[in-house]
Structure 1
């Protein structure tokens, strides 16, 4: 109820008050402070200072000598020694068809494996650890023995672990 009364007094004679405010003279803006403006690009002083030669600056410019060379061009002229080129070996295994959208590789650098070869080596070692020892895998794929031992020890593909349920009546997967 109080809001209605307040709104009535607030809106009382609103149009007359608005017209009175609009018809008042506008206040004048304060005068701006007189300041010296910077020389514009079209002024004669700026044009003269740009075209004028300065003898001391010209002497300093003549004393500067710059010699540059392109390091990329120097590297391109050097020939790569044949000993540093990577030796390559043919791939041992490949997937039939399009291998997951990857380009079929025919050879790889020594010391590297394709995904298919890595999975084949890991699964062979997992199935037959006495036959496929780390030394044999390293020799077969031209790998470093230390890296091969680390990969075979810490990377175990296709290992399935069944976590027992918390309750006895939960459904279990039967081992076959």
Structure 2
């Protein structure tokens, strides 16, 4: 039967006691900690940490054999300090970078905005050489010839656009402009496209009933 009492083992007891002692000692460690820190920082020369026994023996031997070494470390050498201040380095590039010269005929772009998409997917030239044509012009004279072939003949198109007549004839022969055909809307209702006479005919036939065994016994 459980009576509600339990006993702590040794490890639990030590852990609990250590926690209590740490909580009790924390206020003592933090007491006046700021003033103590300022007191140590304001000292003229901090006390060095104690040296190891072997290091201390080596240091004492050096001081014994060369006592002037400790005095030199405490004295400021004015001449050496002057040498340190006079030392400086000058550097120069034998091949200095030259500034790129801009061509006034082909200046660099100054507009950094996003380029909008062109109508035909690419920028059309401002100047068209003689004997050449653009996609816009080709679509225009192909459409004009298709609408009125008697008025816009290959000879007239070649004269207007300054293109050889043979090239115009080949363009009109092998190229066409897309046309859109919209079917007329019919107002007649759709008719059933199935057979007028049903292929399967369903008929009702009476089923024969089996006689029961009682009729045989009665006979």
Which category of TM-score, normalised to the shorter sequence, fits these structures?
0.3 to 0.5
What TM-score comes out, normalization by structure 2 length?
0.28
What TM-score comes out, normalization by structure 1 length?
0.35
The higher-RCO structure (CA 8 Å, 6+ apart) is 1
